[in-house]
């Protein structure tokens, strides 16, 4: 009998300096939309956790900066944040 194992995704290094004002604006919009839902559906523990790790509603987090939300998450919960892409891509 064989067991199917899904491999873990390959995470990439975030290139925070490649984020321009538009990328941070997109982050802000997505953050606001998601938080509107979470404020109605998430537990207070989850919402307190977002505040404690210091996610900024207006700028994407710099995952490599000392004291970033990922390092605070690791300290609090032995977990971490990862980058979805190395940099946003602009459509022509």
In terms of pLDDT, which residue wins out, 82 or 44? Answer: 44
DSSP letters for 50-80: HHHHT--SSS---TTSTT-HHHHHHHHHS--
In terms of pLDDT, which residue wins out, 4 or 2? Answer: 4
Q: Which pLDDT band holds residue 68 (cuts at 50, 70, 90)?
A: confident
Crossing angle (nearest 10°) for helices 21-41 and 44-53? 150
pTM recorded for the entire structure: 0.67
pLDDT at position 86 over 50 = no
Q: Which pLDDT band holds residue 72 (cuts at 50, 70, 90)?
A: confident
């Amino acid at each position: 009998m064989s067991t199917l194992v899904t491999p873990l995704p390959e995470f990439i290094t975030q290139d925070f300096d490649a984020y321009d004002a538009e990328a941070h604006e997109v982050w802000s919009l997505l953050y606001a939309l998601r938080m509107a839902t979470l404020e109605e559906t998430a537990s207070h523990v989850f919402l307190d956790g977002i505040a404690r790790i210091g996610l900024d509603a207006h700028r994407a987090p710099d995952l490599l900066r000392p004291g970033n939300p990922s390092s605070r998450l690791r300290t609090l919960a032995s977990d971490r944040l990862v980058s979805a892409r190395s940099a946003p891509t602009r459509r022509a």
